[in-house]
Amino acid sequence: MTEETIRERPSPIFRWITLLFVSMAMFGNYYIYDSIAPIADMLKLELGFNDINIGQMYTAYSIAAVLVLLFGGFVIDRFGTRISIIIFGTICTISAFVTAVSPDLSVMLSGRVLLGIGAEPLIVAITAALAKWFKGKELGFAFGINLTIGRLGSFAADWSPTWGSSYYSNWQDPLYLATIIGLTCFVGGFTYYFMEGYALKRYTLGEAGETDRLAIKDMFKFDKSFWYIVILCVTFYSAIFPFRSFAIKFYMEFHGADREMAGQLNSALIFASMVAMPLFGLLADRIGKRALMMMIGSVAILPVYLMLVYSGVSLYIPIALMGIAFSLIPAIMWPSVAYLVEESRLGTAYALMTLVQQIGVALFNVLLGWANDTWQASADNPGGYEAGMWILSILGLIGFVFAFLLRKNETGPNNHGLEYPRGKTG
């Protein structure tokens, strides 16, 4: 092998440094998204918002995400990953400023719409870009590092009342802080633009990964195991993410936690997923039993929400159960789709799951806010949170039913090999 051949690909150091810079954009994106929850009570007290309005902050994001899910892939294919990451990273940064600049609800909602327009295609563009730089097992590890750095953004947002307590004297300063941190979306994208440009002049990069697109005709070719997973997906995420939208406020008003402790409790899910998801993924690769593990995750989340409002047990018990579910189900669910769907239809399958997930999250953020407002949930009336917890528990029960049906189908004659380490090949 000649020296010229060796130099065809960028060096490992150059590639991993590139990964770190492009992952900065993911960090800022996640931080901006989760910057509302720590100030939810301030938005009510200082601006007169209700819980429906707070839910709308997240619903606006999800609706925009649904729209760009349908069209964003074409934009990335048209302009390429270099320019797309700058475009969508810049939109994310601008969205944080728009959300912070005015107390007017419509202005703040427009900022969240902008975030949905920027964030989802930014994630898709970064995922496609990584395929240029990494191959094989290295690619899977790179995806894991990228996702972990992104989730560190959520973790940092939940902990911001602790490390950034001086910003929490009013509702606006934490959002300006999110704008500053959100600059990483632009800086990361801008740096990646030049790093890829430099590499293109001196090295040979791989092809960008294909973006997931929703092909309507393919939707009618999926069998029932796939649809069971789709329903599990929407019920699971609709129970988890809307809860996180109100969790800090809930821990403060129902359990009497201060803002710092409430943020730390909310961050436990993110921390658990960063640590445990890769381990559960490795376990599934080793023993199979994927449908069984998804059912176990569904069982774990069943009692959580009612325990939070009716039992006198330590908060750490339901939070630990939620952390197990939040780590176990996603770690198994998304890779399992590859066993159920032909490779040529994987893009449609993942796009459909993401679409349904975002629709569910959009609806239940508003529904949970409506329940809190209708039953007047507050520090003076903590029992008002109980109705919302029943809604989330019903979602958990529906998810368990379909996890059971998936397990039943995958242990029958028409299984797809989910219960075997390597699929149907054993």
Question: Cβ(96)–Cβ(179) under 8 Å?
Answer: yes
**Amino acid of residue 74:** F
pLDDT the model gives residue 136: 63
The three state secondary structure string of the chain is CCHHHHCCCCCHHHHHHHHHHHHHHHHHHHHHHCCCHHHHHHHHHHHCCCHHHHHHHHHHHHHHHHHHHHHHHHHHHHHHHHHHHHHHHHHHHHHHHHHHHCCCHHHHHHHHHHHHHHHHHHHHHHHHHHHHHCCHHHHHHHHHHHHHHHHHHHHHHHHHHHHCHHHCCCCHHHHHHHHHHHHHHHHHHHHHHHHHHHHHHHCCCCCCCCCCCCCHHHHHHCCHHHHHHHHHHHHHHHHHHHHHHHHHHHHHHHHCCCHHHHHHHHHHHHHHHHHHHHHHHHHHHHHCCHHHHHHHHHHHHCCHHHHHHHCCCCCHHHHHHHHHHHHHHHHHHHHHHHHHCCHHHHHHHHHHHHHHHHHHHHHHHHHHHHHHHHCCCCCCCHHHHHHHHHHHHHHHHHHHHHHHHHHHHHCCCCCCCCCCCCHHHC
The widest CA-to-CA distance across the chain, in whole angstroms, is: 75
Question: Which residue has 């189908």 as its token pair?
Answer: 409
d(CA 351, CA 345): 10
pLDDT the model gives residue 64: 94
Question: pLDDT tens digits, residue range 19-78?
Answer: 999 999 999 999 999 999 999 999 999 999 999 999 999 999 999 998 887 776 677 777
Question: pLDDT tens digits, residue range 111-153?
Answer: 999 999 999 889 888 888 888 888 766 777 888 888 889 999 9
State the Cα torsion 350-354-356-357 to the nearest 10°: 130
* Domains of the chain with CATH codes: 1-211 (1.20.1250.20), 213-426 (1.20.1250.20)
> What are the residues whose beta carbons fall under 8 Å from the beta carbon of 102, sequence distance 6 or more?
108
Question: Cβ(356)–Cβ(333) under 8 Å?
Answer: no
Cβ-in-10-Å burial (0-12, 13-18, 19+) of 269 comes to buried
**Amino acid of residue 146:** N
pLDDT the model gives residue 1: 43
**Average model confidence (pLDDT) across the chain:** 91
d(CA 154, CA 159): 9
**351-374 burial by CB neighbour count: b if 16+ within 10 A, else e?**
bbbbbbbbbbbbbbbbbbbbbbbe
Token pair for 414: 């028409």
pLDDT the model gives residue 324: 94
Structure pTM? 0.91
Instruction: Say how many C-beta atoms besides its own lie within 10 A of residue 12's C-beta.
Output: 10
pLDDT the model gives residue 133: 86
Classify the C-alpha dihedral 152-158-160-163 as positive or negative: negative
**Amino acid of residue 188:** G
In 3D, which of 196, 260, 203, 226 has the Cα closest to residue 351? 226
pLDDT the model gives residue 211: 65
Question: Cβ(245)–Cβ(55) under 8 Å?
Answer: yes
Regions of the chain short of the pLDDT cut 70: 1-7, 72-73, 136-137, 207-216, 425-426
